[in-house]
Structure 1
Amino acid sequence: MITVDFRRMNIQPGWKILDIGSGPGRHTAAAYGLEKVTAIGADLSHEDLLSAQERLQNHDMMGWHGGGSWGLSTADITQLPFRDHAFDAVICSEVMEHIPDDASAARELVRVARPGADVVVSVPRFWPEQICWWLAKDYSHANQGHIRIYRKKDIIRILEKSGLTYQGCGYAHSLHSPFWWLKCLVGPTKNQHPAVRLYHRFLVWDIMEKPALTRFMDRMLNPVMGKSLVLYFRKPL
């Protein structure tokens, strides 16, 4: 499930791309599939990094890459272990809503990006996320500690204050919003509930098979009920 639209980034062969808060490596692997890109995934979770390693090794085995390289690192987004201006692009997908000191996190994203770099940040969209919080008081804790809900103007202001220039936005995963509402309705930790399992099977099928009908529905519904808000920035030269 890829949230970031790489087509909106001016990625060139030879670029170094950081995926901070990489989790099991979905965006790291997607970046690795681009031509001669060095894709670096970084996360605090050792378990997630092991999953990312397995995913990337599978891409190597199957030849699903662009001829570049990959690496993984344990990292805290508020104190990244990388030098200044180290990356040509930085991706931070569904991370900022977990970070108490989001201003420090934003400054670190800017610090490690070279001048002219693309920086892409995605967070849960305000109103679908608000419904989740309304439906289940324990949703934020069950969902690995969401500590805030961002309004679009607020997250843009934080990143602009850190030195980025806003380029535009998009929305993603409209078909996932009802899934989370359903989970919150029955209990956010009740993954074995029949309705939740059935909807999850549908989402997995949709991701794997990419049928034209559901892809069309997702594109049409994203502006209205996309689960993720995706913000595109550039670091000034």
Structure 2
Amino acid sequence: MLTVKFKHLDLKPGQRVLDLGCGEGRHVHGFHMVDGINVVGVDIDEPSLAKAREGIEYLDRQSSDTYPTGDTSFMQASAYELPFEDDCFDVVICSEVLEHLDNYPAAILEMRRVLKPGGKLGITVPHGWPERMCWRLAPPPGGYPFEPGGHIRIFDDTALKYELVNAGFTFQRKHHTHGLHSPYWWLKCALWDQRDTHWLIKLYHNFLVWDLMKKPILTRFLDAITSPIMGKSVALYFEANEK
């Protein structure tokens, strides 16, 4: 399930891509299947990186004779201090990460530092009003926004856009995505103490997995019409300016 749309990144063979906060590697796995793309997945959590590496090994076992790939690697590092030289990536993505960071402006500056002038940036964060519903449905002292490592802020996407413009990027486009996922998270938040056991949550989860695997026309249509209104995430795309 990809939140960043690769078609907006202007990918070309031989390019170097950074996935900052790659987690278990869902976007890295997608880049791995694009011909000639060299991708580095960076995350602070080593267990997540281990799962991401396992995913690459699985893809290579299943499809190594079907598609050519570039180089794919993973690295444990902080978003605030990336171990890369200036202007060394053609594309940077950061998907569902900034809402977890205490000092997200520092991470934005690091992304600008390592991205070449003219390079593409894809940022995704939770969409404001569906996220506020989650916070209200699972209030303190426990609940959705108060889990260790959880979301510590709700972004206004317009304000975030101008923060990135002020950091040296030119805005290009945005879209909302995962319209069918917001009700799932509202259910989990409303039933937080049973979020892993309640039958209705399990049923909805199974539906989402089925939809992801089968991609039937009806649910693709429903997702397309609900995403602009209640998509779980908003994606913003930029180009890096000359320094």
What one-letter code is carried by the residue in structure 2 that aligns with 1:142? E
8 A contact 1:125–1:229 mirrored in 2: yes
RMSD: 1.3
Match of 1:133 in 2: 135
Alignment length, in residue pairs?
237
Could you tell me which runs of 5 or more consecutive residues in structure 1 were left unpaired when the two chains were aligned.
none
Residue 60 (structure 1) aligns with: 60
Cα separation, partners in 2 of 1:143 and 1:135, compared to 1, 3 Å: farther
Residue in structure 2 matched with residue 107 of structure 1 by the alignment: 109
Matched residue type, 2:4: V
Residue in structure 1 matched with residue 5 of structure 2 by the alignment: 5
Deviation at 1:141, TM superposition (A): 2.1
Residue type of the alignment partner of 2:221: F
Summarize the Cα distance change of 1:134–1:140 in structure 2 as closer, same or farther, 3 Å threshold.
same
The corresponding residue for 2:78 is: 76
Of 124, 127, 135, which residue of structure 1 is paired with 2:126? 124
> How far apart in 1 are the matches of 2:194 and 2:85?
39
Deviation at 1:66, TM superposition (A): 3.6
- 1:164-217, Cα deviation, whole Å (9 max, x unpaired): 111110111000000000001111662111111111111111111111111111
Partner of 2:88: 86
**Alignment partner of 1:30 is 2:35:** no
Post-superposition CA distance 1:29-80 (Å, at most 9, x none): 1111111001111101111001100001111112265421200000111111
Equivalent residue for 1:185? 190
Which amino acid letter does the alignment assign opposite residue 121 of structure 1?
Answer: I
Percent of pairs with identical residues: 40
TM-score when normalising by structure 2: 0.94
SS at the partner of 1:197?
A: helix
Conservation of the 8 A alpha-carbon contact between 1:121 and 1:231: yes
